[in-house]
């Protein structure tokens, strides 16, 4: 059974479509990244899963239960870290966590509460009212709050927005740790390097559609360009025409030849081609593509692909 | 480390929300309890200690005895309304409502928790005002049961009205508009300070359209035995309005109107 199944999910606001019939599934135990530029429909999708936004069409099931019909069951199984910092200024961290366990119908478990407090570095601030917490502490509290009822699916909607590097790394370490304990993670972030490192699979949304979805390494391998750079013993005056399909580029007065490879280009074949051209190669470097490159290409700010 | 199947207690969300709502006003008791009590005490001082024994607009009762039931009712009404309207509107305005929307709290539990906390605050203020009033005069308490029922009905009714106002309000200004331009005039014109029978027509008849008149009149009947209308009419009319407001609030919350997009 999947942790989450989304079928033909739709939502419009004032007749402007925000989510246009998307489909995807998240397996149990997976870390799934939902990426996309601002306004792509990620938060709307997440809010429909969590129950903040009503479904415009289609359906969502969490662990086999419909999120609208069986909302009590599904909401108990889902924890959400919202994009905006949502806190109740009247209460201390400790009071808020106890109340939140109750909202989810779960009795306060002091051992679990203290474990979250310790792991998220909240202990010295336990009895401070929310109003007095720094931005970073509020973010950490949001994660503790989302986990206090021990959900099976944790949704992180840009949990590290505006958070310093040290805290970001700490939070991601913690997310990995709880994922190893069996919690499925759905996350959105604008830190693509981190998403690439964290996520087993990634879906990229743009203009309300899912435009790409597959395992992270496969997505990057398939859609990014690798770069090969050859340092030549003798400067090259003219680029051989047989290399034209590799978008060659000559630098450093012809002593550096740069080639761009797609996922289907074979490095061995290219090396043979260069040998046939009798190029005297002293050194070779390669750069792998990354998720950021794929993201920019797909979301098409400068006219990238519309569908993959 | 991680037991991801803790037992679900279906009524715990209600009790947690009720606890939160009570703690919310308790934590700022200076503003939510003490301030209205001080205001009501000033009224009591003016109408009880200074004018109370010198005025008599109803035979057989001092003015202090006449006015105290209305002042208690004012405290109940204002504070029940303030509790639900400010709490829910602030949640909407600051985004905290999202914290509840993602939980298994059901719409009936939501309404009950907000309503009971508001009733508690309204009745606490009313009780303290009554206790303070005993320093100025004594009330015969003609029908204690009716008095308690009218007080509960008033707090229930205005808790519902507060929920409705908070859902429709676009800003804090709208909430204070309800308080200053609707509840306050209706309270003052509803017979807190005078019996409507002394008004000339058409004002006396128009006052009978004011739902607050029935709450105040029924409560006064229970406390001192004087009323402008039958206590059964007062209770029945107030009860109908309370039910209408409850159905309206329940419909809005059940639908998630202006709560879920």
- Per-residue pLDDT of B9-35, as tens digits, reads 999 999 999 999 999 999 989 988 999
pLDDT tens digits for range A253-280: 888 888 887 777 788 888 888 888 888 8
**pLDDT of A169 strictly over 80:** yes
pLDDT category of residue B155 using cuts at 50, 70 and 90 = very high
Are A86 and B8 a contacting pair at CB < 8 A?
A: no
Residue A53's pLDDT is 95
Is the CB of residue B143 less than 8 Å from the CB of residue A144? Answer: no
**pLDDT of B257 strictly over 90:** yes
B114 within a domain of the structure (yes/no):
yes
**pLDDT of B2 strictly over 60:** no
CATH 3.40.50.300 fits A4-221, yes or no: yes
Count of domains observed in chain B: 1
Q: Which of A282-286, B21-25, B227-231 has the weakest average pLDDT?
A: A282-286
The chain A residue lying nearest B259, using CA atoms, is: A52
Residue B54's pLDDT is 67
Residue A24's pLDDT is 94
pLDDT tens digits for range A231-245: 888 888 888 888 888
Residue B52's pLDDT is 63
**pLDDT of A307 strictly over 70:** no
Share of chain A above pLDDT 90, in %: 45
Find out whether the peptide bond into B202 is cis, omega within 30 degrees of 0: yes
* pTM, 2 dp: 0.87
pLDDT category of residue B1 using cuts at 50, 70 and 90 = low
Sequence ranges of chain A with CATH classification 3.40.50.300: 4-221
pLDDT category of residue B224 using cuts at 50, 70 and 90 = very high
Tokens of B203: 């004002």
Is the CB of residue B250 less than 8 Å from the CB of residue B156? Answer: no
Burial (Cβ within 10 Å: 0-12, 13-18, ≥19) of residue B80? buried
Residue with tokens 């391998």: A221
pLDDT category of residue A179 using cuts at 50, 70 and 90 = very high
Burial (Cβ within 10 Å: 0-12, 13-18, ≥19) of residue B233? middle
Is the CB of residue B129 less than 8 Å from the CB of residue B72? Answer: yes
**pLDDT of B140 strictly over 50:** yes
ipTM of the complex: 0.89
**pLDDT of A304 strictly over 60:** no
Are B104 and A90 a contacting pair at CB < 8 A?
A: no
Is the CB of residue A153 less than 8 Å from the CB of residue A161? Answer: no
**pLDDT of A206 strictly over 70:** yes
Share of chain A above pLDDT 70, in %: 97
The count of CB pairs under 8 A between chains A and B is 111
3 state SS for chain A? CCCEEEEEEEEEECCEEEEEEEEEEECCCCEEEEECCCCCCHHHHHHHHHCCCCCCEEEEEECCEECCCCHHHHHHHEEEECCCCCCCCCCEHHHHHHHHHHHCCCCCCHHHHHHHHHHCCCHHHCCCEHHHCCHHHHHHHHHHHHHCCCCCEEEEECCCCCCCHHHHHHHHHHHHHHHHCCCEEEEECCCHHHHHHHCCEEEEEECCEEEEEEEHHHHHHHHCCEEEEEEECCCCCCCCHHHHHHCCEEECCCCEEEEEECCCCCHHHHHHHHHHCCCCEEEEEEECCCHHHHHHHHHCCCCCCCCC
Please tell me which residue, B206 or B248, carries the higher pLDDT value: B248
Q: C-alpha distances in angstroms, A291 versus A199, A223, B164?
A: 11, 9, 48
CATH for A225-292, among 3.30.70, 3.40.50, 3.40.1620, 3.30.230? 3.30.70
**pLDDT of A308 strictly over 60:** no
Mean pLDDT of chain A: 87
If interface means Cβ-Cβ distance under 8 Å, which residues of chain A face chain B?
A: 13, 47, 50-54, 71-73, 75-76, 78, 80, 82, 84, 86-88, 90-91, 95, 99-107, 109, 112, 115, 145, 149-152, 178, 181-183
pLDDT tens digits for range B110-131: 999 999 999 999 999 999 999 9
Are A82 and B4 a contacting pair at CB < 8 A?
A: no
Question: For A150, which of B4, B9, B20 is closest by C-beta distance?
Answer: B4
The chain A residue lying nearest B106, using CA atoms, is: A72
d(CA A141, CA A163): 13
Task: Give A147's strand partners.
Answer: none
Residue B3's pLDDT is 63
């Amino acid at each position: 059974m999947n942790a989450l199944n989304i079928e033909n999910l739709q939502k419009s606001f004032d007749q402007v479509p925000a989510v246009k019939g998307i489909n995807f599934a998240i397996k149990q135990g997976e870390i799934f990244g939902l990426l996309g530029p601002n306004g792509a429909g990620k938060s709307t999708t997440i809010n429909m899963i969590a129950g903040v936004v009503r479904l415009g069409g289609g359906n969502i099931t969490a662990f086999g239960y419909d999120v609208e019909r069986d909302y009590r069951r599904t909401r108990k199984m889902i924890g959400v870290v919202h994009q905006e910092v949502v806190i109740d200024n009247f209460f201390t961290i400790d009071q808020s966590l106890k109340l939140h366990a109750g909202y989810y119908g779960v009795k306060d478990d002091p051992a679990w509460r203290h474990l979250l407090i310790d792991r998220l570095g909240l202990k010295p601030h336990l009895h401070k009212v929310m109003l007095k917490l720094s931005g970073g502490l509020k973010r950490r509290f949001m994660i503790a709050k989302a986990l206090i009822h021990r959900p099976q699916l944790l949704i992180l909607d840009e949990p590290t927005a505006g958070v310093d590097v040290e805290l970001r790394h700490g939070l991601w370490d913690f997310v990995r740790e709880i994922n190893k304990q069996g919690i499925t993670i759905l996350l959105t972030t604008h830190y693509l390097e981190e998403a690439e490192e964290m996520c087993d699979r990634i879906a990229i949304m743009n203009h309300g559609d899912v435009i790409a979805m597959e395992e992270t390494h496969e997505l990057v391998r398939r859609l990014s360009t690798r770069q090969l750079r050859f340092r030549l013993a003798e400067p090259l005056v003219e680029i051989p025409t047989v290399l034209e399909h590799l978008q060659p580029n000559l630098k450093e007065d012809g002593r550096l030849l740069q080639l761009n490879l797609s996922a289907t280009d074979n490095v061995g074949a290219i090396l043979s081609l260069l040998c046939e051209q009798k190029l005297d190669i002293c050194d070779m470097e390669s750069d792998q593509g990354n998720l950021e490159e794929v993201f920019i290409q797909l979301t098409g700010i400068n006219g990238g692909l519309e569908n993959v | 480390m991680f037991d991801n199947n803790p037992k679900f207690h279906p009524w715990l969300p209600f009790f947690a929300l009720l606890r939160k709502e009570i703690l919310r006003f308790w934590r700022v008791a200076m503003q939510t309890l003490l301030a209205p009590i001080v205001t009501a005490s000033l009224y009591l001082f003016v109408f009880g200690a200074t004018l109370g024994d010198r005025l008599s607009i109803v035979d057989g009762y001092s003015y202090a005895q006449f006015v105290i039931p209305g002042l208690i009712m004012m405290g109940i009404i204002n504070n029940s309304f303030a509790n639900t309207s400010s709490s829910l509107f602030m949640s909407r305005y600051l985004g905290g409502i999202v914290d509840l929307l993602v939980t298994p709290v059901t719409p009936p539990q939501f309404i009950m928790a907000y309503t009971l906390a508001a009733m508690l605050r309204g009745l606490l203020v009313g009780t303290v005002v009554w206790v303070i009033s005993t320093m100025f005069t004594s009330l015969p308490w003609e029908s204690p049961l009716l008095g308690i029922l009218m007080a509960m009905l008033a707090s229930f009714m205005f808790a519902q009205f507060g929920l409705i106002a908070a859902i429709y309000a676009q800003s804090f200004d709208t909430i204070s508009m309800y308080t200053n331009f609707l509840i306050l005039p209706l309270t003052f014109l509803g017979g807190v300070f005078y019996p409507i029978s002394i008004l000339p027509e058409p004002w006396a008849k128009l006052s009978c359209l004011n739902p607050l008149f029935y709450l105040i009149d029924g409560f006064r009947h229970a406390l001192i035995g004087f009323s402008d209308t039958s206590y059964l009419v007062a209770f029945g009319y107030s009860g109908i309005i309370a039910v209408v407001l409850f159905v309206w609030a329940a419909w809005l919350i059940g639908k998630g109107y202006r709560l879920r997009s």
